[in-house]
């Protein structure tokens, strides 16, 4: 197993402690900031495995599958957990709205199912990176990290923080929808090229 794939596997393994830290967030601010630090580490790992794979010439089929799976595992679990009122703070207003989590989780599930359908019908099975998709992934990491700090930021400057959160959520959802439509179009082309309509 190459080093990029090892990093990806580590990212998958770290999803569980990240969620456990989130679930303990109201017990102590340390758990919440531990989750923030772990999310930042996972974001760096996401960048590092891709850069290493390209520089080492170690881009593999397994890596192209595992990398998006690691992203989806983290984001689906983080979005679902953070959308529950009272998880991040005793202030039940501080959570990811359902319109954000439902859209982004649906997109991730669509991608996973789409990859399996493409493989079944055409034998093509790997991630389908796009600029909008990568930008959405970056923004989702930003959302997760920002939400870990939101309980304290809202207390310090609520008039500034709440509008910023809504802008952040809106931009992330917009990128998610744009990339979603792009993946539908790309998948349709691959199926058509493979003789399936």
Residues 6+ apart with CB under 8 A from 134: none
Between 59 and 169, whose confidence is greater? Answer: 169
- State the average pLDDT over residues 137-150: 96
Assess whether pLDDT exceeds 70 at residue 127: no
* 3-class state of residue 137 by DSSP: helix
**Range 36-65 burial, b when 16+ CB lie within 10 A, else e:** bebbeebbebbeebbebbeeeeeeeeebeb
Quick one: pLDDT band at residue 187, thresholds 50, 70, 90?
Answer: confident
Q: What is the pLDDT of residue 197?
A: 46
Tell me the average pLDDT across 121-126: 62
Q: Are the beta carbons of 59 and 121 closer than 8 angstroms?
A: no
Query: Helix 29-55 to helix 131-156 angle, to the nearest 10 degrees?
Result: 160
Q: How far is CA 111 from CA 54, 146, 162, in A?
A: 23, 25, 30
Domain coordinates of the chain in residue numbers?
3-193
State the pLDDT confidence band at 60, using cuts at 50, 70 and 90. low
Residue 129: name the closest of 50, 43, 39 by CA: 50
- Predicted pLDDT at 63: 67
> What does the alpha-carbon distance between residue 188 and residue 69 come to, in Å, rounded to a whole number?
21
- The rounded distance, in Å, linking the Cα atoms of 143 and 137 is 10
Query: What integer is the mean pLDDT of 75-101?
Result: 95
Query: What one-character DSSP code corresponds to residue 56?
Result: T
Query: Count of CB atoms within 10 A of residue 134's CB?
Result: 15
Dump pLDDT digits (tens) for 146-178.
999 999 999 999 999 999 999 999 999 999 999
Give the whole-angstrom CA distance, residue 176 versus residue 135: 9
Q: So what's the pLDDT on residue 58?
A: 64
In 3D space, the residue among 37, 2, 3 whose CA is nearest the CA of residue 17 turns out to be 37
Architecture of the 3-193 domain: Up-down Bundle (1.20)
Cα 127 to Cα 147: distance, rounded to the nearest angstrom:
28
């Amino acid at each position: 197993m190459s080093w990029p794939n090892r990093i990806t596997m580590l990212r998958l393994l770290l999803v569980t402690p990240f969620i456990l830290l989130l679930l303990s967030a109201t017990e102590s601010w340390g758990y919440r900031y531990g989750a923030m630090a772990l999310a930042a580490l996972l974001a760096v790992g996401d960048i590092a495995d891709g850069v290493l794979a390209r520089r080492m010439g170690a881009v593999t089929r397994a890596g192209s599958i595992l990398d998006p799976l690691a992203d989806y595992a983290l984001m689906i679990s983080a979005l679902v957990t953070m959308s529950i009122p009272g998880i991040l703070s005793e202030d039940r207003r501080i959570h990811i709205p359902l319109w954000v989590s439902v859209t982004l989780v649906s997109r991730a599930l669509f991608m996973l199912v789409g990859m399996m359908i493409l493989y079944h019908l055409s034998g093509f099975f790997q991630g389908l990176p796009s600029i909008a998709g990568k930008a959405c992934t970056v923004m989702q990491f930003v959302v997760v990290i920002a939400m870990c700090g939101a309980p304290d930021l809202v207390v310090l400057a609520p008039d500034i923080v709440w509008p910023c959160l809504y802008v952040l959520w809106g931009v992330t959802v917009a990128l998610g929808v744009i990339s979603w439509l792009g993946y539908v179009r790309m998948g349709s082309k691959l199926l058509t090229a493979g003789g399936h309509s």
